[in-house]
A and B are shown apart, each in its own frame.
Chain A
Amino acid sequence: MSEIFGIPIQAFMGQLMLGLVNGSFYAMLSLGLAVIFGMLNIINFTHGALYMVGAFGAWLGLTYLELGYWQALLLSPICVGIFGIVIERSMLQWLYKLDHLYGLLLTFGLALVLEGLFTNIFGVSGQPYSIPDELSGAFNLGFMFLPKYRAWVIVASLVVCFVTWFVIEKTQLGAYLRAATENPKLTQAFGINVPLMVMLTYGFGAALAGFAGVLAAPAIQVSPLMGSNLIIVVFAVVVIGGMGSILGSILTGIGLGVIEGLTKVFYAEASSTVVFIIMAIVLMIRPAGLFGKEK
């Protein structure tokens, strides 16, 4: 068997794959956070909870409504998005003129409420959600077996990230969004309905978290705390990539997933801290993050 740096190639590729899968989730979640932060100036601590709600949406749909994975992949994010819009209209919209801290506190509180609610109803132990038949099994790549579901997660996340990036950077709607992010008052004075865009942006960010949740459901167990386990790393990703940068959050998300995965191969003890070590170094060298602009 061939080796890379003394590591069996199969172990190396396996961890690389896992890293890419984790990176895909980091990318989708930090992308949503970046879009929301840009538009609303709110650090959305509810994001992890929305991801969890998305996963539960899929599980509830399957258990009580017999909705399959593919229906869940469409319906659950829509429901989470609508839930996000309700949150924005009923609570967040009153905070825009205040300090970042208030939005952070409110969304953090909401996350605790949601997680508490789901823990009360469903307990802390995870609910299993099986991989759809089409995506079970693995591809034999010769040097390794690639589980089909992992490949699907990576592809789906890359497509979603690319489409989001494309819409924001290359279309007229995206130009409105960038303009409203940079100078909301003037943009509104040009006749663009900025409050509506802000509401839809939060809904979209929430839907993106919900989508990631559905993707995660078959890969890990559906549990009320799945979001809070992930969100801390995702915040580190956002800080490293640079607050509010679209491309930055995607690339950093995937890149850090890979780095984290490879650390497991070379020095497993550091794998859960490596992201934060990188964050500390990046903050020392570039306080605005790798892709962020200094204000």
Chain B
Amino acid sequence: MTSATEYLRVSDLHAFYGESHVLHGMDFTVNRGECISLLGRNGAGRTTTLRAILGLTGRRTGSIMLNGREVINMASHRIAQLGVGYCPEERGIYSSLSCEENLLLPPQVASGGLSLDEIYAMFPNLWERRNSQGTRLSGGEQQMLAMARILRTGARLLLLDEISEGLAPVIVQKLGEVIRKLKERDYTIVLVEQNFRFAAPLADRMYIVEHGQIAAEVAQGELATKQHLLQEYLGV
């Protein structure tokens, strides 16, 4: 791969929450249009990695190059304005906003995002519930809303945290389809997952995170040969 296609490069990233040192030198890259997955156990530092990229942790050191720009010292909103969409693990649906207000909240950062019509076509449930209070939606609907609202903004890099967690299989399947569509549209995606079976068919490459570092990298084609790594780290 040439560096011209490189969209996100995280090098020697350390992050802290107060006194506790959570990330111990994360190193990974994501190429433009690629979908990678960060796999690992709870507490391995996957969520923190996403939060650190957006400047939501405490102190950070190291380097985060986003589309050729160093963002390690930028404020969260500046990083987001460079085209990063974030779907947090807790979904972050606002109770003081209606479903549609939640959907329209993130400001447009670039052209080329999905239109509201396209989003409602992709998630018909959200159209039906558009006037409901955000947190009155079911868990699945909230997850779709959390995904949908970052597709409108024109962000090209999507950071998706545990989107399949705690959802019915039919909804997980639906989200898988959505991610396939986004890959066709050349979005760059970082998928933080516990659910290996959800991530494996979607991700071009997988990174296994352990103790705040990358422990192993497995490309889509190496799944069979590196099965022992997955077994060792993830127990799958």
Stretch from B22-30, B33-41, B97-105, B119-127 contacting the other chain:
B97-105
Q: Is the interface of A mostly helix, strand, loop or mixed?
A: helix
Selected contact of A191 from candidates B56, B96, B107, CB within 8 Å: B107
- Complex CA distance for A229 and B73, rounded to whole angstroms: 47
Contact residues, A49-105 vs B (CB, 8 A): none
Are A188's CB and B77's CB within 8 A?
yes
Q: Indicate if B54 sits at the interface (CB-CB under 8 A).
A: yes
Q: Indicate if B109 sits at the interface (CB-CB under 8 A).
A: yes
Are B97's CB and A191's CB within 8 A?
no
Are B107's CB and A190's CB within 8 A?
yes
Q: Indicate if B92 sits at the interface (CB-CB under 8 A).
A: yes
Distance from A190 Cβ to chain B, minimum over Cβ atoms (Å): 4
Are A179's CB and B105's CB within 8 A?
yes
Are A188's CB and B109's CB within 8 A?
no
Q: Indicate if B31 sits at the interface (CB-CB under 8 A).
A: no
Stretch from B62-70, B80-88, B163-171, B219-227 contacting the other chain:
B80-88
Are A192's CB and B107's CB within 8 A?
yes
Q: Indicate if A148 sits at the interface (CB-CB under 8 A).
A: no
User: Quick one: given A188-B76, A191-B77, are A175 and B101 in contact (CB under 8 Å)?
Assistant: yes
Which B-chain residue is minimally distant from A190 (CB atoms)? Answer: B106
Chain B CB within 10 A, most for which of A183, A186, A187, A195: A186
User: Quick one: given A179-B94, A182-B94, A183-B94, are A190 and B80 in contact (CB under 8 Å)?
Assistant: yes
Distance from B31 Cβ to chain A, minimum over Cβ atoms (Å): 23
Are A186's CB and B88's CB within 8 A?
yes
Selected contact of A189 from candidates B76, B94, B95, B97, CB within 8 Å: B76
Residues on A with C-beta less than 8 A from B76 are 185, 188-189
Distance from A148 Cβ to chain B, minimum over Cβ atoms (Å): 39
Distance from A295 Cβ to chain B, minimum over Cβ atoms (Å): 12
Which B-chain residue is minimally distant from A176 (CB atoms)? Answer: B105
Other than A179-B105, A192-B105, give 6 A-B pairs with Cβ distance below 8 A: A175-B104, A179-B94, A179-B96, A185-B56, A188-B76, A192-B107
28 pairs, CB–CB < 8 Å, chain A vs chain B: A172-B104, A175-B97, A175-B104, A178-B94, A178-B96, A178-B97, A181-B96, A182-B94, A182-B97, A183-B94, A185-B56, A185-B76, A186-B88, A188-B75, A188-B77, A189-B79, A189-B88, A190-B86, A190-B105, A190-B107, A190-B150, A191-B77, A191-B81, A191-B106, A191-B107, A192-B106, A193-B77, A194-B77
